[in-house]
Amino acid sequence: MRHTLPIAPQFYVTAPQPCPYLEGRMERKLFTALQGENATKLNDSLSKQGFRRSQNVLYRPSCAECSACMSARINVANFTPTRSQRRIIKRARHLDRRATSPWATEEQYDLFRTYLDSRHATGGMADMDMFEFAAMVEETPIRTRLIEYTDRDALQAVCLTDILDDGLSMVYSFFDPAQEKLSLGTYIILDHIRIAQDLGLPYIYLGYWVPGSPKMDYKAKFAGLEVFHAAEWTPLGTLDSYDTALHPLRSEPIAEQVAKIRLPDGRN
C-alpha cells in the first residue's frame, strides 16, 4: 500500500513596496501556495487566521513597522441593517442575482475595466488585460462562485466569492460606477449577508480594514464587524481605539508569525 506523507506549506515574504492604503508607508506580505488535495482545508484554516486568497496564493500583511491592516469579517448573527442600508436594499430590489461557475466573460471584463477606470485608475490592477482578468477569476483550486447582478439582463455588478466552511469570502467585487444611487458596493455585501443567512453560514469575510484609510471606511459601517487583531477575532469597537503609528517593535518577526500559524492537521 502506498502512503503519502503530508507536506507542510512553505511560507514566503514579498519585497517591500508602496502601501496602497496609507500614504508614505511600505507594505510586505506573508504568503504561501494554495494547491494540492488539501487546498480547501488550508484555505478554510488560514482564512480564519487573517489570510486572503488571490488565485492560487494565500497571503496576509506582514509589514516590518506597521500593523494597521486587519482582516475583517461580519458576524451575521450580530448584523442588523441601518436605516440607510435598508434603503439601499429597497432601491436595488429589482436586481436579479445569478451564481455561476468561475468563468470569465467579455461582458464581465468590460464592466471590470469601466469600474477600474472610474475608481482605481492608478491602482495595481489598472493595467490588467482580459487574460489576466480570466486568471483572477478562473484560477481557483477551491469552491468558488461568480455572483452576477443584472437589470433586465444588463450586467450591473459582479462578486468573486469563495465558499468556506464557516462563511463566504468576498475575494473581489466590481460594479457599474454610473449607478451611484444604487450604492452597489454596499448592496453586494448586504446581499451576501442574506445568502449566508440562507445557507446557515456565520461569517462574511470582507478583506482588510485599515484605520486611517478612506478607502476602507465603508466596512466599519456594518454592524457585527470583527477584526483579526493580536491573533484573535474581536468586535470592532470604537474606531479611535486603533493606533496606526509606525513602530519597529509593533510587528512580530516573520519566524514567530509563521510558528503561530495553525495548519489544518493541527500542526503549527
DSSP 12-43: EEPPPEE-SSSTT-EE-EEEEE--STTHHHHH
| In a shared domain, residues 133 and 156 | yes
Residues 115 and 178 in one domain: yes
Q: How many residues does the chain have?
A: 268
State whether 204 and 226 are in the same domain. Answer: yes
Residue 249: the pLDDT is: 53
Kindly report the pTM of this predicted structure: 0.91
Same-domain pairing of 82 and 205: yes
Residue 2 placed within a domain: no
Model pLDDT, residue 244: 67
**Within-domain flag for 56:** yes
CATH of the domain at 160: 3.40.630.30
pLDDT on residue 245 = 65
- Domain shared by 99 and 134, yes or no: yes
Task: Report the phi/psi class of residue 190: left, alpha or beta, with left for phi > 0 and alpha for psi in -120 to 50.
Answer: alpha
Tell me how many domains the chain contains. 2
Tell me which residues of the chain have a pLDDT lower than 70: 1-7, 121-124, 243-250, 266-268
Q: Are residues 77 and 189 in the same domain?
A: yes
- For 218-261, what is each residue's pLDDT tens digit? 999 999 999 998 889 999 987 777 766 655 556 778 888 888 89
Question: Does residue 92 sit in the same domain as residue 190?
Answer: yes
Closest CA to 39 of 136, 145, 142: 142
Residues 125 and 33 in one domain: no
150 and 233 part of one domain: yes
Query: Are residues 28 and 159 part of one domain?
Result: no
- Is there a single domain that holds both residue 211 and residue 227? yes
Of the candidates 168, 193, 199, the one whose C-alpha atom is nearest the C-alpha of residue 78 is 193
Q: How far apart, in whole angstroms, are the C-alpha atoms of residue 78 and residue 57?
A: 31
Domain that holds residue 50: 11-69+242-259
- Does residue 119 lie within any of the structural domains? yes
- What's the pLDDT score for residue 1? 39
Q: Determine, yes or no, domain membership for 266.
A: no
Q: Are residues 85 and 125 in the same domain?
A: yes
What is residue 267's predicted lDDT score, i.e. its pLDDT?
57
